[in-house]
Amino acid sequence: MASPAPTESGLAVVLVSNGPGELTTWVRPLAERLHATLPLRPRVPEASASLQLLLVPCPNATGQEEQAARPWGQFERILPARLFWSLLLWPRRFGPWPQRGVVVFLGGDQFWTVLLSARLGYRHITYAEWVARWPGWNDRVAAMSKEVRDQLPHHHRSRCTVVGDLMADLSSFARRDDPLPEGEWVALLPGSKRAKLSVGVPFLLETADRLAQLRPGCRFLLPVAPTTSIQELVRFSGPANPIAAAYGSVVAELGNGYLLTESGTRIELIERHPAHGVLSQCNLALTTVGANTAELGALAVPMIVLVPTQHLEVMQAWDGGLGLVARLPLLRRLIGVLLTFWRLRNNGLMAWPNIHAGRPVVPERVGVITPGEIAEEASAWLDAPERLEGQRQDLQALRGQPGAVAALAREVRSLLPRAIESA
C-alpha cells in the first residue's frame, strides 16, 4: 500500500546525505531511532509528521543511493541528487512541503543544508564529524567530539552538543538473528564502483583460491553492494574485464546465492544490504580503501586494506588522493614516487580507522602486491587469534561508547514541537 503524499499540514524531518557509506552508517540508524521514538510517516500512516530523505550532489556518490534506501521503508519521500537544484528553485514542483520542519545534515557539503533549510524555512541541525563549517546558520550542532566543539567560536558553542561517534552504534544494528554457520569466515570487499571492482574482483577471487589452499577449512563471503549486481561481479571476473587476464581465478559456477571458482572455492554472495550482521561475525576482512574500512572499523572486524597500484589506467577513476595522483598527465610512470610522497604527506595512512587514530591500527598493503602475498598474510593473521583480538579491541576503542544515535535523535527532537511526541 502506497504512503500518502506529503501535505502542507503537519511537519517534515528531512535527512540530507550523499554517498552509500553515509546512508548505511549514519542515515539508516538515525532513521530507525526516530521511527522508534516518534510517530512518523510512512511507518505510522496517520501521523502528522513525516520522515524524508534528500540526496545532494557529491563526487563520491554512486548515483544508486535512492535505489539503495528505498527498500528500507523509512522515508515518505526520497529525492535523488540530480533534482537538488530544481528543488531549491521550485520546491513545490515536487509536491507540497509542510510549513514547519527540521533539516538534518548527515553527509555531503554542509552548505547544501544551509541553502535547503533557508529555502524551506525549516530549522537546521548539522552532525559535525570533523568540523562545523556554518555554525551561525544552524539552530543546533551535534558534534562527534569535544575537539569539534572546541573549534567553534565561543559565541556559538552554547548551541553545540557533543553526541559522540555515530559509527560507534553500528554494531548494535548488526543483527545476529541470522548467524553464520560454524567456521573460519573471511569477508571479501572489492568495492562498490566499477573502477574498484574491475581490480578488486579478480584480485580477491585469486586471493580466496590461494587462501583456501593454505587453509582448506576457510569459508568466504562477499557482500554485493547495492550499486552493482551478481551478474556484474561475474563479468568483472571474466574476459569482459581486461584486468582479469592478469589473475588466475575464473568463476566456474554461479549458484543460488553463491559462486564457485574453477579451483573449487565457494564464495557466499550476500545480497541484503547493509550486510552488517554477517560481516560482524567474520574473523577477517580483505577490503579496498574507502567507506568499507569505516564500516568494518565500526563493526570491529579485523581487516587487511589492499591498494594494488599495478593497474594505473583504472586507478585514474578512483576517488580521493589515489585518483588525483593517477590522473597527473605525463607523470604516471612516477606513480611509485608520487604515491609514496602523497602517503607521507598523509602520515602514510589511507584506511579510515588509521586516519582516525593517527597511527596504523589495521595493516595497509599498498603497491605492486599479489594475491599470493595477501593470502599468506591473511593466513598468518588467522593463525594468531590473539593478534586478531588485539586489532578488534583497538577498533572498538577508536569508536568510543555507543549512544551517539540516541543522542543525535534527542537533538533533532529538541527542534520539533512537543505536540508531535503525543500525536
Binned at pLDDT 50, 70 and 90, residue 63 comes out as: confident
d(CA 70, CA 73): 6
- Give yes or no for a cis peptide into 226 (omega within 30° of 0): no
Q: 250-284: b or e for each residue (b if 16 or more CB lie within 10 Å)?
A: bbeeeeeeebebebebebbbbeebbbbbbbbbbbb
Q: What is the pTM of this model?
A: 0.72
d(CA 198, CA 314): 8
Q: Reply yes or no on whether the pLDDT at 316 is more than 60.
A: no
d(CA 209, CA 203): 10
Mean pLDDT (whole number) for 86-111: 94
Q: Reply yes or no on whether the pLDDT at 115 is more than 90.
A: yes
| 11-164+403-422 and 184-399 share one fold | yes
Least confidently predicted of 102-106, 244-248, 353-357: 353-357
Architecture of domain 184-399: 3-Layer(aba) Sandwich (3.40)
- Spans of all domains in the chain: 11-164+403-422, 184-399
The SS3 of residue 297 is helix
Q: Cell numbers of 107, please?
A: 553527509
- Residue reference for cell 570487499: 189
Architecture of domain 11-164+403-422: 3-Layer(aba) Sandwich (3.40)
Q: What is the pLDDT of residues 242-255, one digit of tens each?
A: 999 999 999 999 99
By C-alpha distance, which of 278, 208, 273, 271 is closest to 237?
A: 208
Residue 173 dihedral angles phi and psi, to the nearest 5°: -95, 0
- Residue reference for cell 511526541: 421
Q: Reply yes or no on whether the pLDDT at 276 is more than 60.
A: yes
Residue 364 dihedral angles phi and psi, to the nearest 5°: -115, 125
Q: Percentage of the chain with pLDDT > 70?
A: 86
Q: Reply yes or no on whether the pLDDT at 89 is more than 50.
A: yes
d(CA 57, CA 82): 7
Q: Reply yes or no on whether the pLDDT at 222 is more than 50.
A: yes
If one compares 401 and 157, the residue with the highest pLDDT of the two is 157
Q: Reply yes or no on whether the pLDDT at 146 is more than 90.
A: yes
Binned at pLDDT 50, 70 and 90, residue 344 comes out as: very low
d(CA 252, CA 255): 10
